[in-house]
Every structure is written in C-alpha cells, then in structure tokens.
Amino acid sequence: MITRCPNCGTTFRVQATQLAQRSGRVRCGKCSTVFDGVASLSEPAGARDQSANEPSPQLALFEPSEPSRMQVLDGTSADAADADFLREAPPPPRRGPWIAGAAIALMVLLFQILLLFRTELSVIFPATREPFAATCRVLGCTLSLPRKPDLLAIETSDLEADRRREGIIVLNAVIHNRAPFAQEYPALELTLTDERDQPVLRRVLAPGEYLQNNPGPGPGRGIAPGAQATVRLHFQTGGVHAVGYRLYLFYP
C-alpha cells in the first residue's frame, strides 16, 4: 500500500501491520510531519499494469540511503532516531513527598528558631509571651525574663553595723530597672575592704537570698519596667575588720 505525506507530498510504501499500529498514525521521514497514514492511502499510477516481477517505483524510497523513509509511531525500528521517537516518555518523578518533607523540615526549623529566641521575641512582641509560656509548660522549658545589666543601676547603697547585734552588718541598696520591659533580678557581689582598700571578705548574693525578707513580688516576677527594687540584708562578717565596701550587680 502507498501513503502520501500531506505536507511535502512524499509517497511511501507501507504494510497493513504498520498502519494498524497507533491507529494508522505515522511520521514522514522527510519533513517529520505526523499524519494519518490510512486516510492518506493512494494508488500509484499504472500500478495495476505492472508485472509482478517488475520492481515497484516506490521501492527505492525504502533504501537506507534515501532520506524519505517512513517512520511508524508505535513499532520497532532499527533506526536509532525512530527508536527515540517511539520510546515512551518516563513517568514524571513523584515530587509530592519531597515537597511535603521539605515543608515539614522548614516548619520544624522555624519553630526551633522561635523557641531559641523566645525571650527576645516576648520582649519585642509582648503578645507572644503567654503563647511561649504555654509552649514551655508543655515542653518542659522555661521562659526567662530578659537580662540587660547595662539597663540596671544601683541607685543608692550603704553598709552599716547592726547596733543590736555585734558582728552583723546591714546592706541597704536600691536597684533601678531603666529598661522599658521587666528584667530578672541580678546577682549582687559585695566586697568588704580594709584601710588600704584591699578586699577582706567577698560574698555573692543571689536574688532569692536578698529578697527573701523583702516585701513585693518574688524573683520570678522580675523588676517591672522603670521600677525600683529595695534590698535590705543582714549578714555576719565573721569577725573581719572592714572600713569600706564595693557593690556590683551582674548576671551569672
């Protein structure tokens, strides 16, 4: 059977088995046009008068040297180009699970970053403090108050002997929180000095120690924004002779 390319007019000899594949759709080996080989079937002029032993005028079209070889869309061919055309396209990779996994990993990373900087974020965005606190109650972490020692100051302080008890001194101090947010109570370092300003006794006082007998909120509530905390603490000197002192605040 003879079929003709509707685009370039090249004719090709085809077999019925070839046309049966892909419902007769074939590709022109000359111009690469894909067309219906069955609808384009034709009979060459004088074909019925040719002898059975006479070579067909279309036979040369199927010689390997000719550029107009017929390529069937769904069949086996020795031609490498035809094989590439006929090969089924591989299924697209399944990217859904990878995208979902990447999205979950990104959310976990974002959650860890938020949890790491929970104290700073709760200061910048006060509305987030309660959600962070609730999350920490579930996860077993703590939501601490900020620690900015440069925004704390010892406004006044003095050290005096207890007149009623020998060997007992009384420390009085006022800590001022100059920050616009609440802060943790700092630790205090008290150093007693002699006449040459040399240390003879040093003691570090934790918030729970110097606030235990003081009125007001406990250490967990911190020093409110712009507020002052009063410190009054009695302690023994251990018999050392001191004439001066130094008082510092810091965060361990």
Same domain as 159, residue 129: no
Residue 198 resides in a domain: yes
Same domain as 153, residue 235: yes
Confidence at residue 250, expressed as pLDDT on a 0 to 100 scale: 94
Same domain as 195, residue 163: yes
The number of folded domains in the chain is: 3
Same domain as 160, residue 135: no
Same domain as 102, residue 18: no
Average pLDDT over residues 80-87: 37
Q: Are 192 and 161 in contact (CB under 8 A)?
A: no
Average pLDDT over residues 95-105: 86
Same domain as 237, residue 169: yes
What is the percentage of the chain residues whose pLDDT exceeds 90? Answer: 16
Q: In terms of pLDDT, which residue wins out, 65 or 216?
A: 216
Where do we find the tokens 């040719």?
50
Confidence at residue 90, expressed as pLDDT on a 0 to 100 scale: 63
Instruction: For residue range 102-130, list pLDDT tens digits in order.
Output: 889 999 998 888 888 888 788 778 888 88
Same domain as 37, residue 121: no
**Mean per-residue pLDDT over the chain, rounded:** 76
Residue 118 resides in a domain: yes
Residue 131 resides in a domain: yes
What confidence category does residue 143 fall into, taking pLDDT thresholds of 50, 70 and 90?
confident
Average pLDDT over residues 18-34: 78
Same domain as 163, residue 185: yes
Residue 67 resides in a domain: yes
Residue 192 resides in a domain: yes
Q: Are 29 and 79 in contact (CB under 8 A)?
A: no
Q: Is the pLDDT of residue 65 over 70?
A: no
- pTM of structure: 0.50
Confidence at residue 175, expressed as pLDDT on a 0 to 100 scale: 93
Residue 91 resides in a domain: no
Same domain as 129, residue 78: no
Instruction: For residue range 161-212, list pLDDT tens digits in order.
Output: 887 887 788 889 999 999 988 899 999 999 999 888 899 989 999 988 888 7
- Name the residue range of residue 171's domain: 149-250
Same domain as 154, residue 133: no
Average pLDDT over residues 150-171: 87
Helices (H), 140-240: 207-210
Confidence at residue 187, expressed as pLDDT on a 0 to 100 scale: 94
Residue 144 resides in a domain: no
Strand order in the sheet with 187-193: 199-205, 187-193, 244-250
Pairing of β 199-205 and β 187-193: antiparallel
Same domain as 82, residue 102: no
Residue 217 resides in a domain: yes
Q: How far apart are CA 120 and CA 147, in angstroms?
A: 10
Instruction: Give me the CATH number covering residue 195.
Output: 2.60.40
Same domain as 156, residue 220: yes
